[in-house]
Amino acid sequence: MIAHYLKTAWRNLFRNKTFSVINIGGLAVGMAVALLIGLWIYSEVSFNTSFKNYNTIAQVLQNQTVEGKIYTQQADPFPLGKALQTKYGSDFKHVIMSSWQGDHVLNLGMKNIIKSGAYMDKGADDMLSLKMLKGRYGALSQPNDVYISASTAKALFGNADPMNKQLKIDNKLDVKVAGVYEDIPYNTDFSGLDFIAPWDLYVTSESWIKNNQTRWDNNSFRVFVQMADHTDMQEVSKKIADIKLNEVSAGEKKYHAQMFLAPMKDWHLHDNYENGVQTGGKIVYVWMFGIIGMFVLLLACINFMNLSTARSEKRAKEVGIRKVVGSLRSMLIKQFYFESILMVVIAFAIALLLTRLTLPWFNTLSDKRMIIPWGNVFFWLTSVIFILFTGIIAGSYPALYLSSFNPVKVLKGSFRAGRNASLPRKILIISQFTISLILIIGTLVVYKQIKFSQNRPVGYNQNALIDMYVNTPEYAKYFSAIKNELLASGAITNMANSTAPVTNVWSSTNGLTWAGKDPNLTQDFVQTSVSTDFGNTVGWHITRGRDFYATGVSDSSSLIINEAAVKYMGLKNPVGTIIGDTYDSSVHYTVIGVVQDIVSGSAYTPVQQAFYVLNKYPSDIGLFYLRLNPSKSAHEAIETIGKVFKKYITEAPFTYNFVNEEYAQKFATEERIGKLATFFAALAVFISCLGLFGLASFMAEQRTKEIGIRKVLGASVFGLWKLLSKDFIVLVLISCAIAAPVAWLCMHKWLQKYEYRTAISWWVLAVPALFALAIALVTVSYHAIKAARANPVKSLKTE
């Protein structure tokens, strides 16, 4: 019986080629989209799962209450690690103090490369279950041993054995290679960790770290833990809540610091906290694209349903004869399901090919490294379930509808599908275009939000501005020489240095005080130390007062604040205000100027209050800013800069970044989401139009005789076109009426997560509606005009 079903299904496939091509093509595109989204979702939900201790690793975070609002942060105080080991040691297998992962220069003789690394406590190798290719666990307990990744070993040593070879980190710390580990997979939070150096080496290398070993009020470090066997992470998280609060000074207790454990499984998808409560994160995009994938696949299934039921009168006699000769309705349902599943199987094979061809492009678009797991049994089992599910969904309505025909009416020739038969088709068309329009409107809102934030005044001149991070002590003594030579060469017009980039926040403090300060004002100020010509180099805008003097000598106790700080502090005449330091009563600054707000943090939130002071050692900062000479090409200027740097600094590679490109990275996530949404929206429209094209073809064929009679009676081509098109246009208009409010509600809610956000303009709703109408008209008009221009004699000669 199954062989009979398959043979019949195969014959019907070739008997109706146009119907088959449209259905299989639509299903193939829909399934390819579902496959791509499925691979993307798997990549997201499997993030960090490559770590053997995935379920027992956590990071210690803290909540602090500032002016009635709870803020969650990753940075922890130095003494926290030791306190956790001392008081709750039995709850943890490992407590790991760690620096922030960042770029460093690795020196091997005359070879210098930049690699990302971190300083971590002993036990980090075991916690991260590093796959050692050479060496073994335990090296981090030695103060000068270092682990390097396989790619780093290759870059430094080629095919030579790296074990026990001497290296330098940032041309100042001598270390010995004690192990080589397999590169950590890309879909983890430790991806790109090219070396791990001992925590003790980090502590002894910097005086500011030594000075913070007992300070609970300085949050500059990270703490990771691995739970001991048979311990409950949530219970331990509650136990350690007050560990910092019990140690801080009376002045710090007002922040009510609460420590808690954030499990590794939440780091990637559930990393968003609002007022101290976990409120999601990237999981929103997983759900969003999962729903989009289902909708796009549903569109293809709707095409199948519509075209199958549209052909109902052509299949009616077949159904009638089968029933007369003894076929039960259940047998007919099975037959139609087999036809559906056969088409889905063929479509799936094409979808796999489409996925394979588009995956490299999709990886680039989504910033992933996904592959199709051909050898994974689970993948193929899921594929079989996917095929059956799609086949059943697509074939359910046609199978139930076609098998219900009355054989007597069919064979007497009195059967007509009737008006009621077209109602489900109309509902399905409305559903298709409603989904497509919601996707288009959503995409437009995403791009409008990005554009709105990109056009926000940034507070400085990004054009022809580059920055360079030189992490080696040699730059300090050569700063002035490099600057003077570059100015003389004409490659630049100015050069300065800073402790933090203008595109990011690296340091903040809540230790400022001033006359009349409200004791309830406890928010942090962003703090940055700069050289005297920083303002002129980056092109900031002084709105009140003055900039630092070029010599800087008389400004050693001067301070410049931004407009956000003026507003926050409630200063009517800020210039001349004396500002003190609550951590050091001997320190006082005088406000000499106010600068326009510089967008250093998120481009979607208000600018935080900030201040700028002169660094006591202007040349002792490794972050340089250079203003390129506009009269020279950027390529020529950078070539000159590179030669000068290499002349003076031989211990570090010459690298640079354009500041406008760094700033653009703030929008990378939203732009990526926008591009993905555009891609899926375009495919949704394509599938909808494909179905509309096929449906219009059958409708025109069904009304051939009616069109012939109307032409004989004098109907014009335009009149016939209007007759055949109006039903479809009405359906699209209904779709627009439904999609507009639904899309507005969804995108309005999405925009609420941004404090600095755009409005949903009327044209965002109108343009997609006009586009849908236009594309529907074009799709339907082909068959409508073709039918209207046909010779009526051919259609009426049998009457």
Report the pLDDT averaged over residues 657-678.
89
CA 68 vs. chain centroid, Å, equals: 31
Residues 410 and 390 in one domain: yes
Give the range among 38-47, 97-106, 666-675 with minimum mean pLDDT. Answer: 666-675
Q: What is the pLDDT of residue 280?
A: 81
Residues 478 and 440 in one domain: no
Above 70 in pLDDT, residue 533? yes
Grade residue 78 by pLDDT with cuts at 50, 70 and 90. very high
Above 60 in pLDDT, residue 640? yes
Above 70 in pLDDT, residue 796? no
Q: What is the pLDDT of residue 56?
A: 96
Q: What is the pLDDT of residue 526?
A: 92
> To the nearest whole percent, how much of the chain has pLDDT over 90?
48
Q: What is the pLDDT of residue 283?
A: 92
Structure confidence by residue, pLDDT tens digits, 167-226: 999 888 999 999 999 999 999 999 999 999 999 999 998 888 988 999 998 899 999 999
Above 90 in pLDDT, residue 520? no
What angle (nearest 5°) sits at the alpha carbon of residue 71, between those of residues 65 and 76?
95
CA 28 vs. chain centroid, Å, equals: 27
The domain of 602 spans 465-666
Q: Provide the angle, in degrees to the nearest 10, between the axes of the packed helices 668-702 and 283-310.
A: 10
Structure confidence by residue, pLDDT tens digits, 720-741: 677 777 888 888 899 999 999 9
Structure confidence by residue, pLDDT tens digits, 308-324: 666 655 655 665 656 55
Sign of CA dihedral 447, 453, 457, 458: negative
272 assigned to some structural domain: no
Among 611, 633, 666, which residue terminates a domain? 666
Phi-psi region of 386 (alpha: psi -120 to 50; beta: other; left: phi over 0): alpha
Above 60 in pLDDT, residue 420? no
Grade residue 696 by pLDDT with cuts at 50, 70 and 90. confident
Q: What is the mean pLDDT of the chain?
A: 86
Residue-wise over 247-271: b if at least 16 C-beta within 10 A, else e? bbeeebeebebbbbbbbbbbbbbbb
Of residues 472 and 774, more confidently modeled: 774
Q: What is the 3-state secondary structure (H, E, C) of 250-294?
A: CCCHHHCCEEEEEEHHHHCCCCEEECCEEEECCHHHHHHHHHHHH
Residues 199 and 156 in one domain: yes
Which residues are within 8 A (CB) of 710 and not within 5 positions of it... i.e. 6 or more apart?
A: 719, 720, 723
Among 239, 267, 295, which residue terminates a domain? 267
Report the pLDDT averaged over residues 268-283.
90
Of residues 414 and 191, more confidently modeled: 191
Grade residue 340 by pLDDT with cuts at 50, 70 and 90. confident
Residues 423 and 303 in one domain: yes
Report the pLDDT averaged over residues 743-757.
89
Q: How far is CA 742 from CA 286, 447, 659, 737, 739, in A?
A: 20, 18, 39, 9, 5
Q: How many residues does the chain have?
A: 799
Residues 20 and 129 in one domain: no
Q: How far is CA 781 from CA 132, 196, 197, 430, 707, in A?
A: 66, 66, 69, 18, 15
Grade residue 483 by pLDDT with cuts at 50, 70 and 90. very high
Q: What is the pLDDT of residue 615?
A: 84
Q: Provide the angle, in degrees to the nearest 10, between the axes of the packed helices 2-15 and 17-45.
A: 110
Above 60 in pLDDT, residue 411? no
Structure confidence by residue, pLDDT tens digits, 164-177: 999 999 888 999 99
3-state SS class at 675? helix
Report the pLDDT averaged over residues 26-42.
91
Q: What share of the chain is helix, strand, coil (3-state, %, to 5)?
A: 50, 20, 30
Grade residue 782 by pLDDT with cuts at 50, 70 and 90. confident
Residues 87 and 167 in one domain: yes
Report the pLDDT averaged over residues 356-373.
90
Eight-state DSSP code of residue 141:
G
Above 90 in pLDDT, residue 593? yes
361 assigned to some structural domain: yes
Domain count, the chain: 3
510 assigned to some structural domain: yes
Which among 360, 434, 376, 358 is positioned nearest to 32, based on CA atoms? 358
Structure confidence by residue, pLDDT tens digits, 365-394: 888 889 998 888 988 998 898 888 888 877
Residues 659 and 682 in one domain: no
Residues 686 and 592 in one domain: no
275 assigned to some structural domain: no
Grade residue 327 by pLDDT with cuts at 50, 70 and 90. low
774 assigned to some structural domain: yes
Residues 719 and 641 in one domain: no
Report the pLDDT averaged over residues 662-671.
88
Of residues 14 and 356, more confidently modeled: 356
Q: What is the pLDDT of residue 351?
A: 93
Q: What is the pLDDT of residue 154?
A: 96
pTM for this model (two decimals)? 0.83
Burial of 342: CB neighbours in 10 Å, binned 0-12, 13-18, 19+: buried
Among 641, 666, 691, which residue terminates a domain? 666
Give the range among 247-256, 281-290, 332-341 with minimum mean pLDDT. Answer: 332-341
Residues 632 and 597 in one domain: yes
Structure confidence by residue, pLDDT tens digits, 220-255: 999 999 999 989 999 999 999 999 999 998 888 888
Report the pLDDT averaged over residues 525-540.
93
Report the pLDDT averaged over residues 122-145.
94
644 assigned to some structural domain: yes
277 assigned to some structural domain: no
52 assigned to some structural domain: no
Residues 70 and 198 in one domain: yes
Residues 295 and 350 in one domain: yes
Above 70 in pLDDT, residue 606? yes
